């Protein structure tokens, strides 16, 4: 989020790159060909908005995910007393209000107060937030307002996924990492893949002498929070109730906790030293007796387990864990109800 009270110098960096492409004749399947960067930009430009306080004191980025539903970072609108939204296709200011916020997830949902006026005077479209995680090395784009340079489009790659970091209000959060250029003002904007789908909400930057890295809230986590808010007008942070360590076999180990009084012992039957091998959502049965079954997911590192738990929305709370006893090597499945603090 940019602060207008700070005075910054503009630094121009010039670079020349030459790429030589040589290929034999080939056939491209138009149904699978990825979009060009220009196509991704054109698809996104009317979905991305600038969010500003009135009078101007801070600003950030947001984007439409549905009709009159704008997603941004909580820290972008935190403390704003009069939220103003601008669209690329119009110079008019549009008053907005914050409907829902999760400081833990750093996500807020806004709506424009006079939607009919906005539709009559500005162009807009919605972006899709993908539940599919990117792979390291994938191309990534970002669109936002770094240092107040409006609707700036940048490109990079995914440098890391499921990076663990302390939350701004406690706890632990996970991010996807990218080397796409982002600075103050990009917060709340979309991190896009080559199909133009949102794979993250840009949230943090790390600056150094040699460059920078940016961090985005994973799309699947964002979808969980948005679903909870739009369905139940609230969200929370699911927890398993254990401390995690590593066994000699590099599997997730349940570290020390109060053995008889811990939530994990009561709800899941876990004991200190249990090794969590795999996890899945428990089979559900709807009112018509239709079963929905889920496959086990390997959780070889603690980030995998945290990621799985934090993706669960308010409809989902029952899980099954494949547990190995570190003393006798026996393996069994244990059902568990996730904590909802």
CATH number of the domain to which 329 belongs: 2.30.42
**Are 170 and 222 contained in the same domain?**
yes
To the nearest 10°, the Cα dihedral for 101, 106, 107, 112? 70
Instruction: Decide if 47 is inside a domain.
Output: no
What is the domain extent for residue 157?
A: 139-228
Nearest one of 161, 164, 177, 170 to 104, comparing CA atoms: 170
Mean pLDDT over 180-200 rounds to 95
**Are 266 and 330 contained in the same domain?**
yes
Instruction: Decide if 95 is inside a domain.
Output: no
Q: What is the 3-state secondary structure (H, E, C) of 9-48?
A: CCCCCCCCCCCCCCCCCCCCCCCCCCCCHHHHHHHHCCCE
Domain boundary among 193, 228, 263: 228
For 56-100, the pLDDT digits (tens) are 888 999 999 999 999 999 999 999 999 999 999 998 999 999 999
Instruction: Decide if 162 is inside a domain.
Output: yes
Residue 179 sits in a domain of what CATH number? 2.40.10.10
Per the structure, the count of domains in the chain is: 2
R_g of the chain computed on alpha carbons: 22
CA torsion through residues 296, 301, 307, 312, sign? positive
- pTM attached to this predicted model: 0.83
Nearest one of 106, 103, 10 to 62, comparing CA atoms: 106
Helix, strand or coil, per DSSP, at residue 272: coil
**Are 205 and 255 contained in the same domain?**
no
For 309-324, the pLDDT digits (tens) are 899 999 888 899 898 8
Q: Which residues are catalytic?
A: 75, 106, 187
**Are 301 and 260 contained in the same domain?**
yes
**Are 214 and 253 contained in the same domain?**
no
The per-residue pLDDT for 241 is 74
């Amino acid at each position: 989020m940019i602060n207008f009270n700070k005075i910054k110098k503009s630094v121009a960096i010039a670079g020349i790159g030459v790429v030589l492409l040589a290929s034999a004749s080939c056939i491209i399947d138009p149904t699978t060909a990825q979009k060009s960067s220009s196509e991704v930009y054109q698809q996104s430009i009317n979905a991305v908005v600038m969010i500003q306080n009135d009078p101007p004191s801070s600003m950030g980025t947001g984007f439409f995910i549905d009709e009159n539903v704008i997603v941004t970072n909580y820290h972008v609108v935190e403390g704003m007393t009069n939220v103003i939204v601008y669209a690329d296709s119009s110079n008019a200011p549009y008053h907005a209000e914050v409907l829902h916020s999760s400081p833990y997830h750093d996500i807020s949902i806004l709506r424009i107060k006079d939607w009919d006026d906005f539709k009559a005077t500005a162009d807009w479209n919605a972006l899709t937030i993908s539940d599919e995680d990117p792979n390291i090395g994938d191309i990534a784009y970002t669109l936002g307002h770094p240092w107040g340079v409006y609707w700036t489009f940048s490109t990079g790659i995914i440098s890391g996924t499921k990076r663990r970091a302390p939350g701004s209000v406690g706890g632990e959060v996970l991010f996807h990492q990218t080397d796409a250029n982002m600075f103050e003002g990009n917060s709340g904007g979309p991190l896009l893949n080559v199909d133009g789908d949102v794979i993250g909400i840009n949230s943090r930057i790390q600056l150094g002498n040699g460059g920078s890295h940016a961090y985005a809230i994973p799309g699947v986590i964002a979808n969980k929070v948005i679903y909870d808010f739009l369905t139940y007008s609230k969200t929370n942070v699911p927890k398993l109730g254990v401390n995690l360590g590593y066994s000699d076999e590099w599997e997730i180990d349940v570290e020390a906790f109060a053995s008889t009084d811990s939530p994990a012992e009561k709800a899941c039957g876990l004991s200190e030293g249990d090794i969590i091998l795999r996890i899945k959502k428990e089979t559900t049965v709807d009112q018509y007796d239709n079963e929905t079954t889920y496959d086990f997911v390997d959780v070889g590192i603690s980030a995998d387990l945290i990621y799985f738990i934090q993706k669960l929305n308010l409809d989902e709370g029952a899980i099954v864990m494949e547990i190995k006893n570190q003393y006798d090597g026996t393996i069994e499945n244990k059902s568990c109800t996730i904590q909802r603090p």
